A and B are shown apart, each in its own frame.
Chain A
Amino acid sequence: MSGAAAWARALRALSLLAIDPEGLRGLHLRARAGPVRQRFETLLFTLPGPARRIHPDLSDTALFGGADVAATLAQGRLVWQEGLATQPARLILPMAERTPPHLAARLAQLLDREAGHGLILLDESAEETERAPDALIERLAFGLDLNETGWQQAQATLPAPADLDAARAHLPEIRLHPDHIATLTALAARFGIDSLRAPLLALRAARALAALNMRDTPNDDDLREAAELVFAHRATQIPQEEDEAEPQDDTPPPDPETDSADTDETQGDIPDDMLIDAVAALIPPGLMERLQNARGVRGMRGAGAGARRKGNRRGRPLPSRPGKPDGRARIDIVATLRNAAPWQPLRRQGESGARVIIHPSDIRLRRFETRSDRLLIFAVDASGSAAMARLAEAKGAVELLLAQAYARRDHVALIAFRGSGAELLLPPTRSLVQAKRRLAGLPGGGGTPLAAGLLAGATLAAQARGRGLDPALALLTDGRANVALDGSGGRAAAMQEAYEVAGYLRALSLPAILIDTSARSAPETAQLAHGLGAQYLALPRADANRISTAVSTTLDATAR
């Protein structure tokens, strides 16, 4: 999709939001900060209705209202502060990819309440693993991507406000034909969209489009456009035609303009295939990979066994500190009173009546020390040599470790390396069923790109750290590297690279364990473990118990 087309699509979504804000809820925009996004935001604020800017660190008090402690103390009576969500408004959330799960849950509930709230997610994520919460994206009608759009391409603007107002007035008149419902629902199913919110939102969009075009009932063009706008970013599969054997991304996506010109000739019912082409053309290439990556990437919380971290909600108590109550931190009453006590005689001179006079500066907040969640990254060598030897046993060992991870409530991730590179089979998740399924389906064969596997592990570990997890690496290999990072063969070069990457991992001070799966362990493997700073364990002599003990010891080292 060209940049100009993306911009046209964004404008379309904005116009529809102006027409039916309650029904369509909002949109999810992927765009880095820059002039194009600035322009989009300017247009966003021209839409009718109140708009409020919120941020991912928003406290519950700020969102839903609550007592304003500082003002309460200053005035000596209870002062309520109105929340941003008390009145229906369009909430604009920049840095949406940093939305913590609790805020996402609150916002999702707010949208479900159908009190007229809208939500605009401005997602600035740079990496594929970062993404605004799926629970929110799913509830919003549109998904846009303006990363490829240049300033020159973003010149078109919205229809005149008068036209939008007229369309909004016309909206209640729109009547749907039962066939429209059937068409859009069936289409959503063919794109592998499970959630039934998608066809509902598409219907709403079709209605709004009909209103915009001053029709009484949506026609085929409206339906197609609604499907394009709502389904394209949700699709999990591209419907396979009998004659369409080549993969989608080899052919340049057909221009939407020519597409609609084609279909204009077919009056009456448009065949589903035509709709499918229209939507498929908008599905970004590489969608499937992105889905794989995005699935399960979500900051889950829970008390883990990882490294220590300071927090204000739970854990081992630490001495309290002065601070401003924000609705999330708890006030340490005793410390606050103790701090206010010496000043009481002095403060009472000015006023009378109050028993205790406390100033905002007296407030002490509680702090706790908690442990972050642990992530166990399995890097499994699925090369031909390992498969020959004992891939099955390695899988068995991983399953054992998975069961252990379950007991410790750890997150797990699975990387397999074989052939020319490494692949992230399972992004960090707590769903062990998924981990087991991916592992069972892991084929063996090909060369041993050990360096690529290690590098993938290192990247994932760094990302996990960024999200507050505490990673550890379990490497299962026979140590016989023969594919270098650039995909070329050669044992010596490949081993050399593996050592270099191992040094890099060691510098990350990532706790690691190397489980040697070869039938006869070679000294190089032990040397690699040394290079990694990892504990070395040879599988031939290791029984189930030894593996668990070894892994526990290694992992417990993280906690210290």
Chain B
Amino acid sequence: MTAPYPFSAIVGQDQMKRAMILTAIEPGLGGVLVFGDRGTGKSTAVRALAALLPPIRMIEGSPTNAERAEDSPDWAPPPDGAIVERPTPVVDLPLGVTEDRVTGALDIERALTRGEKTFEPGLLARANRGYLYIDEVNLLEDHIVDLLLDVAQSGENVVEREGLSIRHPARFVLVGSGNPEEGELRPQLLDRFGLSVEVRSPTDIEERIEIIRRRDAYETDNAAFLAHWRAEDAAIRDAILAARAAKPDVTTPDDILRDCATLCTALGADGLRGELTLMRSARALAAYEGAAAITRDHLRRVAPIALSHRLRRDPLDEAGSVTRVIRLTEDVLG
């Protein structure tokens, strides 16, 4: 399997790239939803992001990627492996996946052949401390969505079935992508995503040509292409690490909090999740750019991706919510 397409080599799609970098800096944001047409590089960006993420430290062989022995669930094999560095897990959740595969279930083979009751961890365990990527998230079956909503909210996966009573931590960043033409996303799930981005096929011919040129170089002259972009990817990774370190020191002026609240009330966003996400993502952006405090400029740039999917919306309203957010941001922030 070849190395994924480099993140920095993705042409355009600045909003999408910014949103992904922000979640890498602040995993608490709650993930990204990327909605757009086919062939716009949604999956490419997600896979590229995986290569960009700093590795995590974990106990070797831990089914939930635990770093410390006390985090290891009691059903897992004893946590006595060495501490190793592993790439941040990015787990694909395919459509049509069964509930067993997601939550984990009784290990049927062992139960039948050896009469032992053991737990076979599922995708949620593997995604702990990493990313869970759902392509075509709007086509996901409802019962799987319900399950994810619950786990994404509580950060814990609870399995009560087939005589098993198991719980383990499942904190992950949810990354979803989909094509809105094919179906709507349930509002409850929409709300669980911290940021949302709409991507379109670039209409500019030059930009399209550049994309094809790079992609072609990636496919035909892989080694040289990767070598060329590796440095830029490394620069972004360093910037992400630096931003993670700098994030606690970024100050949040009271004016900015007031702006966040005004903006969210003006947009009629439900709940307080909007304000929190707006503030957190602005802080991550400020940290990424090396600013000492959040400014209105940061707010202005993250508002569309943090708020556009939170508007109290009429399901039939087709006016672009991004446009509404931008217009209101201009009104509120001046």
Contact = CB atoms under 8 A, between A and B. Distances in A.
Nearest to B146: A303
| Residue of A102, A298, A334 most packed against chain B (CB within 10 A) | A102
Interface stretch (A191-199, A255-263, A449-457, A470-478): A191-199
Contacts of B106: 333
B162 to A, nearest CB: 5
Contacts of B69: none
Interface in A172-220: 176, 178, 181-182, 184-186, 188-189, 194-200, 203-204
B180 A433 contact: yes
Most A-side CB within 10 Å, residue of B98, B136, B314: B98
Interface stretch (B89-97, B231-239, B271-279, B304-312): B89-97
A430 B1 contact: no
Contact of B215 (A73, A200, A433): A200
Interface string B139-162: 101110000000000000000001
B209 interface: yes
Contact of A313 (B98, B109, B215, B314): B98
Contact of A437 (B2, B37, B108, B318): B318
B38 A195 contact: yes
Contact of A115 (B1, B37, B142, B216): B1
A530 interface: no
A114 B162 CA distance: 38
B171 to A, nearest CB: 24
A548 to B, nearest CB: 15
Nearest to A112: B43
B205 interface: yes
B55 interface: no
A138 interface: yes
Contacts of A104: 95
A185 B318 contact: no
Nearest to A358: B112
Given A181-B213, A431-B182, A138 B316 contact: no
A356 B181 contact: no
B39 A138 contact: yes
Nearest to A440: B318
A56 B87 CA distance: 35
A330 interface: yes
Contacts of A106: 94-96
B183 A406 contact: no
Chain B interface extent, by class: 35 or more
B165 to A, nearest CB: 15
Contact of B41 (A67, A196, A204, A301): A196
A331 interface: yes
A188 B95 CA distance: 30
B96 A333 contact: no
A433 B139 contact: no
Contacts of B39: 138, 194-198
Given A73-B113, A185-B212, A431-B184, A102 B96 contact: yes
Interface in A393-425: 399, 402-403, 406, 409
B68 interface: no
Contacts of A270: none
Nearest to A312: B98
Interface string A104-115: 111011001111
Contacts of B316: 399, 402-403, 406, 432-433, 436
B40 interface: yes
Interface in B98-114: 98-100, 106, 108-109, 111-114
B315 interface: yes
Given A196-B212, A314-B99, A406 B184 contact: yes
B43 A186 contact: no
Interface in A85-127: 100-106, 108-109, 112-115
Interface in A367-385: none
B183 A300 contact: yes
A147 B213 CA distance: 36
A433 B209 CA distance: 31
Contact of A303 (B98, B143, B219): B143
Interface in B161-188: 162-163, 180-184, 186
B202 to A, nearest CB: 8
B190 to A, nearest CB: 13
B96 A101 contact: yes
A337 to B, nearest CB: 9
A297 B143 CA distance: 22
Interface in A39-94: 67, 69, 72-73, 76-78
Contact of A114 (B2, B139, B182, B183): B2
B153 to A, nearest CB: 20
Contact of B209 (A23, A181, A298, A358): A181
Contacts of B220: 176
Nearest to A340: B112
Given A101-B96, A194-B37, A196-B40, A186 B183 contact: no
Contacts of A298: 182
A560 interface: no
Contact of A199 (B98, B136, B186, B208): B208
Contact of A203 (B95, B111, B212): B212
Nearest to B180: A431
23 contacts: A23-B219, A67-B108, A72-B113, A100-B96, A105-B95, A109-B135, A114-B2, A181-B213, A185-B205, A188-B208, A195-B38, A196-B39, A196-B208, A197-B39, A200-B219, A296-B181, A313-B98, A336-B112, A355-B115, A356-B112, A403-B314, A409-B142, A432-B184
Interface of B: 1-2, 37-41, 43, 92, 94-100, 106, 108-109, 111-115, 135-136, 139, 141-143, 162-163, 180-184, 186, 201, 203, 205, 208-209, 211-213, 215-216, 219-220, 314-316, 318
Q: Across the A-B interface, give the 5 residue pairs with the lowest CB-CB distance, nearest first.
A: A102-B96, A195-B39, A105-B95, A355-B115, A194-B201
Interface of A: 23, 67, 69, 72-73, 76-78, 100-106, 108-109, 112-115, 134-135, 138, 176, 178, 181-182, 184-186, 188-189, 194-200, 203-204, 295-296, 298, 300-303, 313-314, 328, 330-331, 333-334, 336, 354-356, 358, 399, 402-403, 406, 409, 429-434, 436-437
Given A328-B98, A331-B108, 17 more contacts: A69-B112, A73-B112, A76-B113, A101-B95, A102-B94, A105-B135, A114-B2, A186-B209, A195-B38, A300-B139, A301-B139, A302-B141, A303-B143, A402-B315, A430-B182, A432-B316, A433-B316
